[in-house]
Chain A
């Protein structure tokens, strides 16, 4: 395997929710132009760790984050870093779909408008269409771009949120269970998108599907009770896990 540039370098990370120690001593390197999968039983801290990477934990009063998170060698928790700019660079698809109470078009155009990515309406239209196509939802909504995004089905909302996140062209895309409500066809399309994004960006995906992790990712991290148990090449983890906990999880004995 060729060694790629490291995008995110996380060192001895700890997260506390009040007194609860949710992430314990996690160190992980996320490579550029790579898909990294986070797997682990429910409640083990995958979402929590993911949210550290774009400082979304800042919005939770009880959460305290410690440790080093270096994005391209720069600590994102440094006082000089503007979290707003960071989040434009590190996009996120949330575990629960959260479309804005706006039209489908405005949902996708929201990010590009804020960051001034389009010079005029035609360009914006183009961005919206491209993003919706990448989110594998264009065909379903192209005739009703003006209807509210909250009126879509759960799976459609999930893909709308994916489209919304890719519209801002983030360098890193964090996806928290992006396919949890999708049928196999839509899942395949989203996986295709992830594969396509890998050419230029780095993608981190949380998933409960071992097959999906095996299909789309090159690196896999297994979390258990707030600890990073094992991290390595996806092929290695799934065929030859070193830790017994990893083995029993992927073979379905715990979690």
Chain B
């Protein structure tokens, strides 16, 4: 039975549970709602929950784990020689799966009947040709062991499917009956539903946390591989970035890290003051009519794709900065520069800072301002000494969001600051000159992973180490902000 049908059946049972539960509860109280512990619909939801939740959990777990279990058992039955021939078990298993799918398809299209597909032998029939005829993607010749495995795979998955369907539906029915049996006027359905709602919320937050954990783990794994092949000292403290796919690369992280921090700092120096001031003007000074126009206009900035900002940097800002500042001052002849990328990125970040800060400043209660005005403070004194301190935790959050965006930005950097890593061995001037081309960690992650590469050489694996470093940095930023906000909270409020 296809999964969709099972889900629909369970939901149908749940719906029946809802209505029966509700009317049973009403019946047990003789139709008088006041006799019930909870409102009738709570009894309905209670029955719905008991019907749907356990069975769908089992369904999900089964779908998640059954394929792996089946594949493991089949892999164990494959002859050693076949395994060695194909090189890796996972490659072979995907071949088996493809063959099985193709068989399914052939049966479905009617080019084979079911019995034939089960007894088919590669020695006697042109299996590969017939399976290809179904339109499936078969890359290699289907050999007899693979075909055997595929046939077995089909049998096992259809058995597993059957068991699953029966189990899930039975579970739903059991849950339904259990909930209905417990439904009487003293049953605390309202509290049960409360627990159910709480569980949904917990589930949602744990999914978010688990995903983060999963990302970190997968990165950790590859990063460990990288450090097996490349000394960590040279990665963390190396001042030269010169990857070479023929080997002998210098993969020092410092030039990239410096580029990231430098460009982000310039961007934040642009975005934070402008964004914050704009937010203060809009929320404290501007009239409602101006605000209604200006706020969406600023937010449009956030909707522009970064590639468009990149173009702006490349063809307008870069040449302008070179001709107006860098060349006359003898600071270089690059259109690509830290300044270009930083300025343009700063403009991109303005709405992040201003829009959030504006909401936060607006949330400061009017009575705070009244208190300050009532003591004879001017508007800017009030803002500096009362409104902003009260809004600080939120403003820090807004700035942090902008910082994370800046650190993760790639497009604007490539087009504005180029793709050449900082030359840290050419003296301090080359390092701090803001009109120098420079690049960031994210750009190098992309360039290490594009092109014809296998995931085994240090030149590609370094991308994971870089990614993890970036993650740790943003995490550190978050923790730092948390500490700042805590400290502030301890003082006030």
Binding site for B on A (CB under 8 A): 54, 56, 59, 61, 84-89, 91-92, 94, 96, 98-103, 110-111, 114-115, 148, 150-151, 161, 164-165, 168
Assess whether B368 is in contact with A100, with CB atoms less than 8 Å apart: yes
In the assembled complex, which residues on chain B have CB atoms less than 8 Å from the CB atom of A89? 376
Instruction: Say how far A93's CB is from chain B's closest CB, in angstroms.
Output: 8
Instruction: Say how far B33's CB is from chain A's closest CB, in angstroms.
Output: 38
Assess whether A54 is in contact with B390, with CB atoms less than 8 Å apart: no
Assess whether A61 is in contact with B288, with CB atoms less than 8 Å apart: yes
Residue in chain A with minimal CB distance to B375: A111
Instruction: Say how far B292's CB is from chain A's closest CB, in angstroms.
Output: 14
In the assembled complex, which residues on chain A have CB atoms less than 8 Å from the CB atom of B368? 98, 100-101
Residue in chain B with minimal CB distance to A146: B491
Assess whether A94 is in contact with B371, with CB atoms less than 8 Å apart: yes
Assess whether A148 is in contact with B493, with CB atoms less than 8 Å apart: yes
Taken together as a complex, chains A and B put the C-alpha atoms of A110 and B376 apart, in Å, by 10
The one of A84, A103, A151, A161 in contact with B371, judged by C-beta atoms closer than 8 angstroms, is A161
Q: A111-B375, A111-B376, A168-B375 are contacts. A101–B492 as well, Cβ < 8 Å?
A: yes
Instruction: Say how far A243's CB is from chain B's closest CB, in angstroms.
Output: 32
Assess whether B492 is in contact with A102, with CB atoms less than 8 Å apart: yes
Assess whether A87 is in contact with B492, with CB atoms less than 8 Å apart: no
Say whether B221 faces chain A, with CB atoms less than 8 Å apart.
no
Instruction: Say how far A169's CB is from chain B's closest CB, in angstroms.
Output: 11
In the assembled complex, which residues on chain A have CB atoms less than 8 Å from the CB atom of B77? none
Assess whether B371 is in contact with A98, with CB atoms less than 8 Å apart: yes
Instruction: Say how far A127's CB is from chain B's closest CB, in angstroms.
Output: 13
Would you list which residues of chain B between 363 and 380 have a CB under 8 Å from chain A? Answer: 365-378
Assess whether A115 is in contact with B492, with CB atoms less than 8 Å apart: no
Residue in chain B with minimal CB distance to A96: B367
Instruction: Say how far A97's CB is from chain B's closest CB, in angstroms.
Output: 9
In the assembled complex, which residues on chain A have CB atoms less than 8 Å from the CB atom of B371? 94, 98-100, 161, 164
8 tightest Cβ-Cβ pairs between the two chains A and B: A88-B376, A98-B367, A92-B374, A111-B375, A101-B492, A87-B376, A98-B371, A101-B390
Would you list which residues of chain B between 408 and 443 have a CB under 8 Å from chain A? Answer: none
In the complex, the number of residue pairs spanning A and B with C-beta atoms less than 8 Å apart equals 76
The one of A85, A102, A103, A151 in contact with B376, judged by C-beta atoms closer than 8 angstroms, is A85
Listed by A's residue number, 16 A-B pairs whose Cβ atoms lie within 8 Å are A56-B370, A84-B373, A91-B374, A94-B371, A94-B374, A100-B390, A103-B491, A103-B492, A110-B372, A110-B375, A110-B385, A111-B376, A114-B375, A114-B376, A151-B493, A168-B375
Instruction: Say how far B488's CB is from chain A's closest CB, in angstroms.
Output: 10
Say whether B386 faces chain A, with CB atoms less than 8 Å apart.
yes
Q: A100-B386, A101-B390 are contacts. A59–B375 as well, Cβ < 8 Å?
A: no
In the assembled complex, which residues on chain A have CB atoms less than 8 Å from the CB atom of B370? 56, 59, 94, 98
Would you list which residues of chain B between 343 and 400 have a CB under 8 Å from chain A? Answer: 365-378, 381, 385-386, 389-390
The one of A59, A85, A168 in contact with B366, judged by C-beta atoms closer than 8 angstroms, is A59
Assess whether B377 is in contact with A150, with CB atoms less than 8 Å apart: no
Instruction: Say how far B486's CB is from chain A's closest CB, in angstroms.
Output: 14
Assess whether A54 is in contact with B374, with CB atoms less than 8 Å apart: yes
Residue in chain B with minimal CB distance to A170: B376
In the assembled complex, which residues on chain A have CB atoms less than 8 Å from the CB atom of B365? 98
Taken together as a complex, chains A and B put the C-alpha atoms of A168 and B371 apart, in Å, by 13
Taken together as a complex, chains A and B put the C-alpha atoms of A43 and B174 apart, in Å, by 61
Taken together as a complex, chains A and B put the C-alpha atoms of A161 and B367 apart, in Å, by 12
In the assembled complex, which residues on chain A have CB atoms less than 8 Å from the CB atom of B377? 84, 110-111, 114
Instruction: Say how far B372's CB is from chain A's closest CB, in angstroms.
Output: 7
Instruction: Say how far A204's CB is from chain B's closest CB, in angstroms.
Output: 14
Instruction: Say how far A115's CB is from chain B's closest CB, in angstroms.
Output: 6
In the assembled complex, which residues on chain A have CB atoms less than 8 Å from the CB atom of B369? 59
Max chain A C-beta neighbours (<10 A), residue from B288, B368, B374:
B374
Assess whether A102 is in contact with B389, with CB atoms less than 8 Å apart: yes
Instruction: Say how far A63's CB is from chain B's closest CB, in angstroms.
Output: 13
Residue in chain B with minimal CB distance to A101: B492
Max chain A C-beta neighbours (<10 A), residue from B367, B373, B375:
B375
Max chain B C-beta neighbours (<10 A), residue from A96, A102, A161, A164:
A102
Max chain B C-beta neighbours (<10 A), residue from A54, A61, A92:
A92
Taken together as a complex, chains A and B put the C-alpha atoms of A101 and B365 apart, in Å, by 11
Instruction: Say how far A122's CB is from chain B's closest CB, in angstroms.
Output: 22
Assess whether B375 is in contact with A91, with CB atoms less than 8 Å apart: yes
Q: A59-B366, A98-B368, A102-B492 are contacts. A115–B376 as well, Cβ < 8 Å?
A: yes
Taken together as a complex, chains A and B put the C-alpha atoms of A54 and B376 apart, in Å, by 10
Taken together as a complex, chains A and B put the C-alpha atoms of A164 and B374 apart, in Å, by 10
The one of B376, B385, B390, B491 in contact with A168, judged by C-beta atoms closer than 8 angstroms, is B376
Would you list which residues of chain B between 444 and 493 have a CB under 8 Å from chain A? Answer: 491-493
Assess whether B492 is in contact with A164, with CB atoms less than 8 Å apart: no
Assess whether B375 is in contact with A148, with CB atoms less than 8 Å apart: no
In the assembled complex, which residues on chain B have CB atoms less than 8 Å from the CB atom of A111? 375-377
Taken together as a complex, chains A and B put the C-alpha atoms of A88 and B378 apart, in Å, by 10
In the assembled complex, which residues on chain B have CB atoms less than 8 Å from the CB atom of A84? 373, 376-378
Max chain B C-beta neighbours (<10 A), residue from A94, A100, A161:
A100
Instruction: Say how far B187's CB is from chain A's closest CB, in angstroms.
Output: 42
Instruction: Say how far B38's CB is from chain A's closest CB, in angstroms.
Output: 36
Instruction: Say how far B144's CB is from chain A's closest CB, in angstroms.
Output: 78
Max chain A C-beta neighbours (<10 A), residue from B369, B371, B386, B491:
B371
Taken together as a complex, chains A and B put the C-alpha atoms of A221 and B288 apart, in Å, by 37
Instruction: Say how far A88's CB is from chain B's closest CB, in angstroms.
Output: 3
Instruction: Say how far B376's CB is from chain A's closest CB, in angstroms.
Output: 3
Assess whether A87 is in contact with B381, with CB atoms less than 8 Å apart: no
Taken together as a complex, chains A and B put the C-alpha atoms of A99 and B288 apart, in Å, by 27
